[in-house]
Amino acid sequence: MKNSNIYFLLLFISFWTSCEQESIENVESESAVLEAFIYAGQPLDSIRITQSFSYGQVDTNIIVLDDLNVMISDDTESFLLTPMGDGFYQNLAVEIQPDQNYRLEFMWQDETVIADTYVPGKREATISAETVELDKIEEGSFGGFGEMPDPIEITWDNPEGGYYYVVVKNLEEDPEYVNENIAVLEEENSGRQPFQFISEPQITDFYAINPRRELIQFGTHQIIVFRVNAEYAALYESSGSSTLSLEQPPTNVTNGLGIFTGVSSDTLYLEVEEQ
Amino acid sequence: MKFKLTLLCLCLWGFTALSAQDMAKIKLKGNYQNKLLDLVMLDLEINYRLRFKYDRALTEDVRITASFGKLPLEDALTQLFKNTKIGFELEAPRTIVLIPKTEMSEMDWSKVEPTRRDFTLKGIVKDSKSGESLPFASVMVKGTYNGVTTNVDGYFTLFNVPADTVVLVVSYIGYQNRLVRISPETDIENVKVELEDFSVALEEVVVKATREEQMLSASTGISRIALAPAALAKLPSYGEKDIFRSLQLLPGISGSNESSSGLYVRGGTPDQNLVLFDGFTVYHVDHLFGFFSAFNTNAIKDVQLYKGGFDAKYGGRLSSVVEMTGKDGNTEAFNMGVGLSLLSVNGFVEAPFAKGKGSFLVAGRRSFQSDFYNNIFEAYTDSNEASNDGPPQNLGRFGQQEVQPNTYFYDLNAKVTYRLNSRDVFSLSFYNGEDNLDNSRNLDQDALAGRFGGNLNFNFQRESTDLTAWGNWGGSAKWSRRWNDRFYSNANFSYSNYYSERNRSDQTFITRADTTVERNTGSYELNDLKDLSFKLDNELKINQNNQLDFGWQTTWNDIEYTFTQNDTISVLDRADEGLTSALYIQDRHTFGNRLVVKGGLRTSFYSPTEQIYLEPRASLSYLLSEKIRLKAAWGKYYQFANRIVREDIQQGSRDFWLLADDDNVSIGSAFHHIVGLSYETKDWLFDVEGYYKTLDGLSEYSTRFVTTGFGPDRQLDYEEFFYTGTGIAKGLEFLAQKKVGRLNGWIGYTLGEVKYDFPIFGDTPFPANQDVTHELKIIGSYQLGKVTFGATFIYATGRPYTAPTGYYELTLLDGTTSSFFEVSNKNSLRYPDYHRLDISATYDFTMGTSQASAGLSITNLYNRKNAWYNEYEVIEGELIETKVSLLGITPSFFFTWTLR
């Protein structure tokens, strides 16, 4: 058995020494990336085309793609977009219409990059209260002795099961905090900033704010209810960041990456006042 | 006298008269220091009513020095004569014949005159201590090819036994082989053979049996391996004997996948492996995110693994079969045991009733949140979070609180067996196991409002639920009957339920005056699988050379999968029912003692497609010489219930079961082609097998190309995300096993390749996730007195993975910038090679009349940083790769105690 032992030992050593670490292959990544949101009722002014970064690329400056012949078309007409530099394209003469299909296309590396989308119609949102009063809590005190205000409910119709998300933003430049204890904490960390909260796109027809817990500053808050398409909601679905789950990211662009999608929105306001 | 002695002499190993089976229950204890053998024998004759027969010259002036306490008779005698030239033979009633060891091999069988010839021998093989019947034990007529295996109840029928003076070789994995002599006095209708497990500590065995301390037996058939659950304690572990982790040490089964207890057999995936426990199907085998398997070894007495080319009796899976038989319970006496490790406590109780006709066993295990448990738990939950990191995350609601997760797993086995007579056996078996993780919190505003005099007409409450739970329920009722010597039937009615629940949601209750509005946000996921089956398996022994197996199996599956967002908006909602009815027939024919051919056909009717699926199977085994066996197998296999691996939806478990409909989810099929050769000696087994499998109807799930429809109808359509592909798995397996001796174990090597071809992922085939090119395993155990040392070493080339080749950034509507990865071709990269060394030491000792053992294990001894997964993030324009490793060096211990 001595011979077989030696054989297995050699086999073992050869395996051991053959350990080598593979690394990400050095593939040049040169796909066109579309970042194109078109808003119902607004001119076409927010389309940007860039190029993806390769792994290990030394220059981390974004590579923009100017000088492309970018066309946008609805069901009847086509329009050429004007390059504005830094990868931006626009055509202010085109006003995006709700409930309308649009197609964007251009040539990149001998392939036609095409993306289609639909601009959803606007949904009117309502808010349960336009003003809410909260007790000021001074630094060092526990507070919370005042009356508990009703939750603020923002609702809209969603019979078709569309995707919505909500942005709550304090418009005050130098907002006063409801709870000064939090202000002190924020000052130590990121500094005092106007409050902003963004929900995730979901199939829903309401959004509720718990004033006592979620409204931390006084002032005029803007609440925007965005109606977005499935391709945008898909950006929030994980495509993973680890090799346990890495997948090609969702995109509605053929022969390219990124997104081309229509958006509509409705804006509401909420005053948060000291009681 | 001498002639009589000669007649009774044994060959090299010696053997035991069948009538001596009761003598195995006699236990001796003694302490003799340089005492004359004649006096020792006198002492034993007086105290134990034994009788010694011997030639006076043999024992003259022989002195004995031996000390033993309550050893079975044969073991005690072995100790007694260890340093002498004297051998012995047991002869009923209570008679011991002494013979010179030198004469033991000089037996002249030609002088024995048999009284019966060419008869049929029937009997049962049992554990000597517990009385458990031993299934799939081998009973052979020594020196011939005439042999048979016991059925699931331990019974055997051996045809054409040439004479009633033959020797039977009885062997069973995990037990000492026994050579049993048939004598003219033997009751050939009801032979009882009792085997001793090798946990009975013996210094040396020269008389009665060979000492094969195998943990596995790979020589029972092509691609078939038997495992000894009791022997697994000798292997390094995380403190728990683990059947599935041990199976992963075999060639052909991936041993480098620490995050799954499932079996990746010959390029297959765990869901392609049929797991049967007392006849019911178990659909999920993981505890603690796959770190442990869900089976308690205290409740299992036999494990059979078929790595491919399995018989027509088994169906519904593409890759392999694991058939486990639960313990019936002790038929001799009440017994109980407890065990403790750093992870869990376990215990069992077993006892006979109805004068030994019936027996029961209850075994349970539950984890506790030790530091060791929490370390493992946190490592795995971190990986779940890493795999679910979606690019844009919403900002957390203000006021969230940290909570300590409440987590545990448990399993419970119970079995009752009743042997009405030697023909009918009834048993009820039950299993339940669950893993539970509760990370929920409750933000109740009502308390504040009430206490501080707020608006009493208003109540605002938000409950944040974060619950993950999965588990199995299973039960079976079995009736087996030996109609006659030739015909045996086994009817099994079973139920199995696998559930996996993932609830990550916020429930908001708003109460105004007398109305309450409930709103749900978040996601809820439930996979609920029910399996109701009836099986009738029959064996008809037409003659010694021909056995017919045939049966009927019907399974009703009800599989529900719901993925709901917010209130009632179902993203994916499937509720499938299907009836699978199968008939099978298989003929096993032996030609000239050397060639065994099995041909079978399984036909399945599957109600969702209303089609019949034919599965022909064939295998052969040819003994080229006494030591060399050629073998081959071929077969077609279908799978109707598929596990979909879902790696890409944020939050939630990563897989779920669905019933195939051949529309969205394909019916899987596979062809197995296997050839092999084995060379087996008394001490060694060398085995090589090559396999080639073609796979069709494979399903993958992905969120690529996520939108369907156009215009206002455009939506995320999850139903469209099932992709179908084909695959090829091929490989070569080598096994070199040292079966006997203080040092035993095996070396296994597998050269393998698994390639999938999914049109959606490109024009060319790609390596499957489980593709491992080289895998080497060295497993050994060494016994030194009462201490057994164990070691396992695993080396495997890296598994493939998909990595980013680049990235791009998008500024989203909320003003945040998110990075997205442009990924490589599917699985075009490989992790670094995997290797790991584990060691253990187990000390067996007695505490009065009870048995105990304590063990220490160190896994990953040299703290190898084996790759688990890589994480990627973009920081200041640079794509950063973080390598996450599996567990490093991990010591653990266990303690077990059993009453008997």
Number of CB atoms found within 10 A of residue A139's CB: 11
Question: In this structure, are residues A48 and A32 in contact, taking their beta carbons and an 8 Å threshold?
Answer: no
pLDDT of residue B163: 85
- Whether residue B884 is predicted with pLDDT greater than 50 in this model: the reply is yes
- Whether residue B459 is predicted with pLDDT greater than 80 in this model: the reply is no
The lowest-confidence range among A171-180, B81-90, B135-144, B529-538 is: B81-90
Q: How confident is the model over B800-808, as a mean pLDDT?
A: 86
- Whether residue B359 is predicted with pLDDT greater than 90 in this model: the reply is yes
Phi/psi of residue B19, each to 5°? -70, -10
pLDDT of residue B619: 95
**Which residue on chain B is closest to A254 by alpha carbon?**
B705
pLDDT digits 0-9 by tens, B588-600? 998 887 899 999 9
Q: How confident is the model over B710-721, as a mean pLDDT?
A: 53
pLDDT of residue B402: 46
Could you give the 3-state DSSP secondary structure of residue A113?
strand
- Whether residue B519 is predicted with pLDDT greater than 80 in this model: the reply is no
pLDDT of residue B383: 58
pLDDT of residue B397: 37
pLDDT of residue B371: 77
DSSP code, position B682:
S
Q: Which residues of chain A are within 8 Å of residue B716 when distances are taken between CB atoms?
A: 230, 233-234, 237
The residue among B356 and B512 whose pLDDT is bigger is B356
- Whether residue B330 is predicted with pLDDT greater than 70 in this model: the reply is yes
- Whether residue A110 is predicted with pLDDT greater than 80 in this model: the reply is yes
Kindly indicate whether the domain formed by A126-229+265-274 is annotated with CATH number 2.40.50.
Answer: no
Instruction: Please work out, in degrees rounded to the nearest 5, the angle formed at the alpha carbon of residue B228 by the alpha carbons of B142 and B348.
Output: 130
Kindly indicate whether the domain formed by B464-854 is annotated with CATH number 2.40.170.20.
Answer: yes
Q: Which residues of chain B are within 8 Å of residue A226 when distances are taken between CB atoms?
A: 813
pLDDT of residue A24: 55
Question: In this structure, are residues B694 and B610 in contact, taking their beta carbons and an 8 Å threshold?
Answer: no
Distance from B380 to chain A by nearest Cα, in Å? 12
**Quick check: B552 contacting A, CB < 8 Å?**
no
**Which residue on chain A is closest to B447 by alpha carbon?**
A148
Q: How confident is the model over B760-774, as a mean pLDDT?
A: 91
Measured between alpha carbons, how far is A110 from B392 in angstroms, rounded to an integer? Answer: 32
The lowest-confidence range among B6-15, B660-669, B797-806 is: B6-15
Q: Which residues of chain B are within 8 Å of residue A203 when distances are taken between CB atoms?
A: 565-566, 569
pLDDT of residue B24: 60
The lowest-confidence range among B97-111, B337-351, B757-771 is: B97-111
- Whether residue B201 is predicted with pLDDT greater than 60 in this model: the reply is no
- Residue B384: pLDDT band with limits 50, 70, 90: low
Percent of chain B topping pLDDT 70: 83
Show the tokens assigned to B473. 């329920």
Measured between alpha carbons, how far is B432 from B434 in angstroms, rounded to an integer? Answer: 7
CATH classification code of A32-119:
2.60.40
Q: How confident is the model over B120-131, as a mean pLDDT?
A: 87
- Whether residue B79 is predicted with pLDDT greater than 60 in this model: the reply is yes
pLDDT digits 0-9 by tens, A44-97? 887 999 998 887 666 767 889 998 999 999 988 999 999 998 999 999 988 999
Number of CB atoms found within 10 A of residue A193's CB: 11
pLDDT digits 0-9 by tens, B529-572? 999 999 999 999 888 889 999 999 999 999 988 877 665 556 67
The residue among A6 and B363 whose pLDDT is bigger is B363
pLDDT digits 0-9 by tens, B274-292? 999 999 999 988 888 777 8
Question: In this structure, are residues B493 and B534 in contact, taking their beta carbons and an 8 Å threshold?
Answer: yes
**Quick check: A66 contacting B, CB < 8 Å?**
no
- Residue B212: pLDDT band with limits 50, 70, 90: low
pLDDT of residue B587: 96
Cβ separation A213–B391 shorter than 8 A: no
Domain with CATH 2.60.40 in chain A: 32-119, 126-229+265-274
- Residue B652: pLDDT band with limits 50, 70, 90: very low
Percent of chain A topping pLDDT 70: 84
B81: left (phi over 0), alpha (psi -120 to 50) or beta: alpha
Looking at domain B2-195, its CATH class is: mainly beta
Cβ separation B453–A147 shorter than 8 A: yes
The residue among B142 and A48 whose pLDDT is bigger is A48
Cβ separation A29–B806 shorter than 8 A: yes
- Whether residue B68 is predicted with pLDDT greater than 70 in this model: the reply is yes
The lowest-confidence range among A106-110, A200-204, B117-121, B451-455 is: B451-455
CATH classification code of B216-341:
2.170.130.10
The residue among A199 and A116 whose pLDDT is bigger is A116
pLDDT of residue B639: 95
Show the tokens assigned to B25. 């229950």
**Quick check: B455 contacting A, CB < 8 Å?**
yes
Measured between alpha carbons, how far is B306 from A273 in angstroms, rounded to an integer? Answer: 73
- Domain chopping of chain B, boundaries: 2-195, 216-341, 464-854
Distance from B791 to chain A by nearest Cα, in Å? 15
pLDDT of residue B571: 65
Distance from B777 to chain A by nearest Cα, in Å? 10
Measured between alpha carbons, how far is A46 from A35 in angstroms, rounded to an integer? Answer: 8
- Residue B10: pLDDT band with limits 50, 70, 90: very low
Show the tokens assigned to B728. 């090829």
- Whether residue B435 is predicted with pLDDT greater than 80 in this model: the reply is yes
Residue B324 CA: distances (Å) to CA of A28, B243, B278, B296, B302: 52, 10, 6, 11, 6
Provide the whole-model pTM: 0.77
Measured between alpha carbons, how far is B688 from B480 in angstroms, rounded to an integer? Answer: 36
Peptide bond into A43 cis (omega under 30): no
Show the tokens assigned to A50. 């860039």
